[in-house]
Structure 1
Amino acid sequence: MPVTHDESLLPLPSNLEELERCLSDAEWRIFSGCLYKIMIKGDGDEQATVLPFRPNLAQRRFISRLWHRNLILKARQLGFTTLVALLWLDHALFNANQRCGIVAQDRDAAGKIFRDKVKFAYDNLPEEIRLRFPTKASNADEMLFAHNNSSIRVATSMRSGTIHRLHVSEFGKICAKYPEKAREVVTGSIPAVPTNGITVIESTAEGPEGEFYDMVQQAEALFTDKAPLTPKDYRFHFYAWWQEPNYRLDASTVPVSDKEHDYFDLIESKMDCRIDPDQRAWYVATKRADFAGKEERMWQEYPSTPAEAFQVSTEGNYYAQDMLEVRKRGGITRVPALDLPVNTFWDIGNADGCAIWFHQELRGEDRFIDYYEEHNQDLRHYVKHLQSRGYVFGTHFLPHDAEHRRLGDYNRSTQEMLQSLMPGQNFVIVPRITELMTGIHQTRKHLKGCFIDEEGCAQGIKRLEGYRKKFSRSDNRYLDDSPDKSNQCSEGADAFRQWAQAKELGMTFSQISTYEEAPASDWRL
């Protein structure tokens, strides 16, 4: 990518005594624009621009509130990775025997951060300053300085040794894509920072689950309660899109609907802020151009409030409104397992995923006590899990394709294989429906009266609330009969639908033997 140098660094003080005084002042080094340069990348084929680094408004706010442990929930492209990379580089250059580290989501991201932020800033120091700080060793992810034995490194883990300054970049994405790596960060990298060190974890949101989500909830609660923080507590930092001065367009070029104005008015009330017409125009244009049909992605990338960053959109979701009604009536609560048979409802997905709901019936009341899902496992794995639960099972309800024989499995159906793995158990097939929306409506109907355990079925609840339609850009609408399978909610939602379809057919779970003996034509659609 071509690079232009539109602005040079401000001149260093010419007086040697004054220069030494300035260099000893960390605030001057970061804020003056005299030492560090950054590269602002252009869009597409546009040239990148090299500028002196001066903290923007959000970065200045963060520096003023810096704590031992810091958790940043933010809108996109506010420059926090750049800021912290320079803070860490500066700390390593001017303090002896320090280890500074940045954890990125993968090797490619780590390489880019090191090359474009850390090494670029070092290589572009004023020559007379850079010569003071020669490197003893330098490679693609680390620089060790000869004058003071300090170093700065960018990698995917920082478990080994003490890390005096740690930055975890885009931790929400790490949690979503690499949960094992996220646990490694929490159990290995973060504990490597001493009490007098500094940790900065920053990210846009990636859905209401995972380590980052849990940490944000805890930190935000401390912030809301104005609780005194120990060095082990995280200080919560939130930076909304409307706080970025550059996020604005000419209001005369973008039509904004009354509904959209109502949204902005609500945010102004909640956040005690003002969102002017040009800001509103920018938000609406960005949402329409980049996130059409994906409202929750706009909230994640450009949140207006902390809660909104993790919010799941109800637009286009099959059961969002129904689940809201279930919550309002107290249907999502603690549902203890009773001394009754447990029925299971399955979906075995084409993408090697399997979801199972665990259900009990008490005097006509449907109670869901447990949920389990896994991917890329064979049937023996699920049988082992069922056996480990200690339940006395009633009936296992399988989807219609479980009776299809598969040549790759010794010409046996899923039902036959499960029967052989769990002899004596009762497996039945829930008949196929010809229209997906028929099953959706049946599920909505029966959701009105069921109870779901909020702990044992926590993941299943998220699957129901996240189950959504595909969005057609060409038609600019959601497609009723085409579920969006990209968020892995389909198996859990489809397994739950087996219960509603069985219930609709009168396959009452206490009398299932009646249906085993009846001809298939008596209860198939």
Structure 2
Amino acid sequence: MAATVSKPLAELPSNAEELERCLLNPEWRLFSGCLYKIMIKGDDGEDNLVMPFAPNRAQKRFIRRLWHRNLILKARQLGFTTLIAVMWLDHALFNANQRCGIIAQDREAAETIFRDKVKFAYENLPPELRERFPLARDSAVELLFAHNNSSVRVGTSMRSGTIHRLHVSEFGKICAKYPDKAQEVVTGSIPAVPTNGVLVIESTAEGREGEFFNMVGIAQANHASKKVLTPKDYRFHFYAWWQEPRYRLPVTTVAITRDEHDYFDKIEAEMDCRIDPDQRAWYVATKQADFAGAEERMWQEYPSTPAEAFQVSTEGNYYAKDMIALRKRGGVTRLPVLDVPVNTYWDIGKKDGCAIWFQQESRGDDRFIDYFEDHDKDLRHYVAELRAKGYIFGTHFLPHDAAHERLSDYNKSTEQMLQDLMPGERFFVLPRISELITGIHAVRKHLKGAYFDEVRCKKGIERLEGYKKVFSRAANGYIDTPNKANGCSEGADAYRQYAQAKELNLIDGATRATTYQEAPPPDWRT
């Protein structure tokens, strides 16, 4: 869309001496509205608007708290990428021999930031000022200034040389989608920032794992303990949706339930803030329109508190509350592999997905020491994975359909094929249950006494916590049917095989049957 000018810049001081004095003041340059222009999205399909840059409330707060290393957890569309692009441009224009960089998740995003924020602000400087700052290089990813040898550039990595100012945009999404790039940022780009430099990492939340999640946890802990930060420590910055003045709708247009008002009242008490009726209306309308059935996505994109940004929703989730209780009692921990047989519990999905849980019993406790899943592989692949783990196996529990013959090159059942691949191993095909909810209740019952290794079972735990019902827009709620689309059903179904075996008292007997038993002595009388 085209950009339309809606508001002129404030006038520069007409007195040359006064102008020079003002230009020496970084705060005046950023706050006065005299130097930089930005593009903002117009409402209701309007063209982009060109406005003088003036930091909003959240941006001003960030500037006041700026540290050597900064970690921003935020709601969407608060303008931090724009702010930092202007700050880096300003720093490069007025300081010699400086290298300023911006990292984005991919090259297209990096070039868009450069074109619409950095280069746009430079090209729209007042003409009398722009003449002072000629370019020695002008490309799609870098501006190098001829008057002082400083530059601003963008990319997906900043490994080479010293970077005096570095901004990593949407690092949570980089960690989730491009873990190799995230590792490159951590090992290559971040160390390029000197101790006296400035590093800003900002993102909305993106799941409960990855470098961004871990870094936020450390920065939050430092903030909570009021630790005196060194230049190598990250200062934690959090900016909620309710801090953005634009996020509001007329309360008369949105129905807000009592439970929703209770939620907002709780946030007000926890965050010592005020969420007025029009803000509440905007939040409820946004959640209903954009995130119906995906409450955790609303928390990620528009968090009310830092903890909420990474929170897993219990709404519509079969086991979320049970897993919360399990974590509270210490059920997710580090578990050693004991010198006892390992039972396995399988689910072999119809779309070539397979999940396997590994369990040991010790003193009445069921200890899940490992988990494995993969897709689009044949049974030989899974057998090779089991052998590579080096466990001594007890019984392999298979789902009911593993006994069905499959029309294939061999016309054998899954059970028969596994027995051929693993001769001498013991397999047990569990009976089919008539109602899914019976198996769900069995899982909930036996989660109360289970323990999981937090490292080897990490993916499996995520599958249990993410096992959800289908959301029906027609019914405006969840229906009692598992959501097969989010990748969690196979891991959850495999764990249900364990609960069903436990209910049928099969585990102890199966384990004993595969352990060594002393043969009875011969009858001396014969």
Fold similarity call, TM over 0.5: yes
The residue number in structure 2 matching 1:188 is 188
Matched position secondary structure for 2:45: coil
Correspondence list, 1:437-448, <5 A: 437-448=437-448
The residue number in structure 1 matching 2:39 is 39
C-alpha contact (below 8 Å) 1:433/1:439 kept by paired residues: yes
C-alpha contact (below 8 Å) 1:437/1:481 kept by paired residues: no
The residue number in structure 2 matching 1:64 is 64
Q: 1:447 offset after TM fit, Å?
A: 2.0
Distance 1:106 1:433, change over 3 A: farther
Distance 1:413 1:269, change over 3 A: same
The residue number in structure 1 matching 2:176 is 176
The residue number in structure 1 matching 2:310 is 310
Q: 1:157 offset after TM fit, Å?
A: 1.4
Instruction: Supply the AA of the counterpart residue of 2:203.
Output: S
Q: Give per-residue Cα distances to partners, 1:372-402, cap 9 Å, x unaligned.
A: 3345666555444433433211122334455
Q: 1:84 offset after TM fit, Å?
A: 0.6
Count of equivalent residues: 514
Q: 1:484 offset after TM fit, Å?
A: 4.8
Distance 1:513 1:275, change over 3 A: same
Q: 1:106 offset after TM fit, Å?
A: 1.6
Correspondence list, 1:290-305, <5 A: 290-305=290-305
Instruction: Supply the AA of the counterpart residue of 1:148.
Output: N
C-alpha contact (below 8 Å) 1:368/1:452 kept by paired residues: yes
Q: State the alpha-carbon separation in 2 of the partners of residues 159 and 408 from structure 1.
A: 52
Instruction: Supply the AA of the counterpart residue of 1:481.
Output: T
Q: 1:233 offset after TM fit, Å?
A: 0.7
Distance 1:109 1:421, change over 3 A: farther
Correspondence list, 1:111-122, <5 A: 111-122=111-122
Instruction: Supply the AA of the counterpart residue of 1:163.
Output: I
Q: 1:328 offset after TM fit, Å?
A: 4.5
C-alpha contact (below 8 Å) 1:436/1:481 kept by paired residues: no
C-alpha contact (below 8 Å) 2:395/2:510 kept by paired residues: no
C-alpha contact (below 8 Å) 2:482/2:489 kept by paired residues: no
The residue number in structure 1 matching 2:501 is 502
Instruction: Supply the AA of the counterpart residue of 2:96.
Output: A
C-alpha contact (below 8 Å) 1:353/1:491 kept by paired residues: yes
Q: State the alpha-carbon separation in 2 of the partners of residues 37 and 262 from structure 1.
A: 41
C-alpha contact (below 8 Å) 1:319/1:465 kept by paired residues: yes
The residue number in structure 1 matching 2:523 is none
Query: In terms of mean alpha carbon deviation, does 172-181 or 227-236 score higher?
Result: 172-181
Q: State the alpha-carbon separation in 2 of the partners of residues 71 and 173 from structure 1.
A: 14
Structure 1 unaligned regions, length at least 5: 516-525
Distance 1:90 1:400, change over 3 A: farther
2:361 counterpart of 1:361: yes
Q: State the alpha-carbon separation in 2 of the partners of residues 490 and 502 from structure 1.
A: 18
C-alpha contact (below 8 Å) 1:69/1:233 kept by paired residues: yes
Instruction: Supply the AA of the counterpart residue of 1:162.
Output: T
The residue number in structure 2 matching 1:215 is 215
Matched position secondary structure for 1:369: strand
The residue number in structure 2 matching 1:109 is 109
Q: 1:509 offset after TM fit, Å?
A: 4.7
The residue number in structure 1 matching 2:491 is 492
TM-score (norm 2): 0.91
Q: State the alpha-carbon separation in 1 of the partners of residues 106 and 402 from structure 2.
A: 39
Distance 1:370 1:219, change over 3 A: same
Q: State the alpha-carbon separation in 2 of the partners of residues 179 and 399 from structure 1.
A: 34
Correspondence list, 1:189-338, <5 A: 189-338=189-338
Q: State the alpha-carbon separation in 2 of the partners of residues 17 and 420 from structure 1.
A: 90
Q: 1:406 offset after TM fit, Å?
A: 6.6
2:8 counterpart of 1:4: no
Matched position secondary structure for 1:311: coil
Instruction: Supply the AA of the counterpart residue of 2:298.
Output: M
C-alpha contact (below 8 Å) 1:105/1:171 kept by paired residues: yes
Matched position secondary structure for 1:324: helix
Q: State the alpha-carbon separation in 1 of the partners of residues 164 and 405 from structure 2.
A: 60
Q: State the alpha-carbon separation in 1 of the partners of residues 169 and 413 from structure 2.
A: 47
Q: 1:413 offset after TM fit, Å?
A: 5.7
C-alpha contact (below 8 Å) 2:394/2:510 kept by paired residues: no
Q: Give per-residue Cα distances to partners, 1:198-217, cap 9 Å, x unaligned.
A: 11000111121111111000
The residue number in structure 2 matching 1:89 is 89
Q: 1:163 offset after TM fit, Å?
A: 1.3
Q: 1:448 offset after TM fit, Å?
A: 2.8
Instruction: Supply the AA of the counterpart residue of 2:492.
Output: A
Q: State the alpha-carbon separation in 2 of the partners of residues 137 and 411 from structure 1.
A: 68
Matched position secondary structure for 2:479: strand
Q: 1:511 offset after TM fit, Å?
A: 2.3
Q: 1:30 offset after TM fit, Å?
A: 1.0
Matched position secondary structure for 1:14: coil
Instruction: Supply the AA of the counterpart residue of 2:493.
Output: D
The residue number in structure 2 matching 1:523 is none
Distance 1:15 1:328, change over 3 A: closer
C-alpha contact (below 8 Å) 2:345/2:358 kept by paired residues: yes
Q: State the alpha-carbon separation in 2 of the partners of residues 514 and 370 from structure 1.
A: 22
Q: Give per-residue Cα distances to partners, 1:314-338, cap 9 Å, x unaligned.
A: 0000111222333454444444332
The residue number in structure 2 matching 1:461 is 461
Matched position secondary structure for 1:485: coil
Q: State the alpha-carbon separation in 1 of the partners of residues 288 and 303 from structure 2.
A: 15
C-alpha contact (below 8 Å) 1:395/1:509 kept by paired residues: no
2:124 counterpart of 1:127: no
Q: Which has the larger radius of gyration?
A: 2
The residue number in structure 1 matching 2:156 is 156
Matched position secondary structure for 2:293: coil
Percent identity between the two aligned chains: 72
C-alpha contact (below 8 Å) 2:394/2:511 kept by paired residues: no
Q: State the alpha-carbon separation in 2 of the partners of residues 85 and 397 from structure 1.
A: 57
Q: Give per-residue Cα distances to partners, 1:219-266, cap 9 Å, x unaligned.
A: 000000000111111000001111222222222332222111111111
TM-score (norm 1): 0.91
Query: In terms of mean alpha carbon deviation, does 400-409 or 162-171 score higher?
Result: 400-409
Instruction: Supply the AA of the counterpart residue of 2:149.
Output: N
Distance 1:63 1:36, change over 3 A: same
The residue number in structure 2 matching 1:518 is none
Q: 1:299 offset after TM fit, Å?
A: 0.9
The residue number in structure 2 matching 1:99 is 99
Structure 2 unaligned regions, length at least 5: 515-526
C-alpha contact (below 8 Å) 1:105/1:173 kept by paired residues: yes
Q: 1:129 offset after TM fit, Å?
A: 1.6
Query: In terms of mean alpha carbon deviation, does 349-358 or 213-222 score higher?
Result: 349-358
Q: Give per-residue Cα distances to partners, 1:126-161, cap 9 Å, x unaligned.
A: 122222222222222222222222221111111222
Instruction: Supply the AA of the counterpart residue of 1:220.
Output: Q
Q: State the alpha-carbon separation in 2 of the partners of residues 341 and 513 from structure 1.
A: 9
